[in-house]
Amino acid sequence: MSNQPVDQSRRTWVTMACAAGGVGGVATAIPFVSTFQPSERARAAGAAVEADISALKPGEMMTVEWRGKPVWIMKRTPEQLAALKKIDPQLADPNSERKPAELTPEYCRNTHRSIKPELLVAVGICTHLGCSPSTKFQSGPQASLPDDWPGGFLCPCHGSTFDLAGRVFKNKPAPDNLEIPPHMYLSDSKLLIGEDKKA
């Protein structure tokens, strides 16, 4: 066994080299792991988007982005759902029969235009010229709306109106109902927009 003193400067260099190697390994791994997530380009091209709807209360709406478009997720109240059935005569396409392949998946061709009656999932872009309608959930007389307004959405650009199922009212510039994107529920609190494998 040698009794020579340990060269501390040499030990320091070895320690620093090991630390630098470890940092380099982590720096290399992070970009590799991040490749498992959809890129911004993939999201823009239509990669599915997951939404947590656990905090959404009746009468509230949240917005997520899918394919560069706003997608509204609204939790309707029992009163709002009941009102949908009463306004069919005022709507241009109450049964979502126009362009069904483009605008309304088969599993949403119903009065509430949704999988779960209380939850509306719709692309928030007017089918006229692509403006984004404003929320007008309160029923009754309001500026730019009829006195018997049931609650819904108003496009500020040219005055098209939609009910709380995204169905367009008659005699408005918008030719069609709002688009319902493909979607599915992963659980009671998780919604996947852009895929509907279970449907």
Residue located via tokens 């309707």: 76
71's enclosing H/E stretch is: strand 69-75
Distance, CA of 182 to chain centre: 10
Return the number of other C-beta atoms located less than 10 Å from residue 28's C-beta: 9
Query: Three-class SS of residue 11?
Result: helix
Give the pLDDT confidence of 97-111 residue by residue, as tens digits: 988 888 999 999 999
| E strands, 96-188, in order | 119-123, 134-136, 152-154, 161-163, 183-185
The larger pLDDT score, comparing residue 196 to residue 61, is at 61
pLDDT value, residue 129 = 87
Q: 6-20, 58-72, 153-167 — which is least confidently predicted?
A: 6-20
**In this model, does residue 124 exceed pLDDT 60?**
yes
In the chain the domains, ranked by start, together with CATH numbers, are 44-193 (2.102.10.10)
Mean pLDDT over each residue of the chain, to the nearest integer: 84
Task: Decide the pairing of beta strands 61-66 and 49-52.
Answer: unpaired
pLDDT value, residue 8 = 61
Indicate if 158 belongs to the active site: yes
pLDDT value, residue 19 = 57
pLDDT value, residue 197 = 81
Model pTM score:
0.75
Q: What is the percent of the chain with per-residue pLDDT over 70, rounded to a whole number? A: 76
What number of CA atoms fall less than 13 Å from residue 33's CA on the CB side?
6
Give the pLDDT confidence of 21-63 residue by residue, as tens digits: 555 554 554 554 444 445 555 545 568 999 999 999 999 999 9
pLDDT value, residue 33 = 45
pLDDT value, residue 35 = 46
**In this model, does residue 13 exceed pLDDT 70?**
no
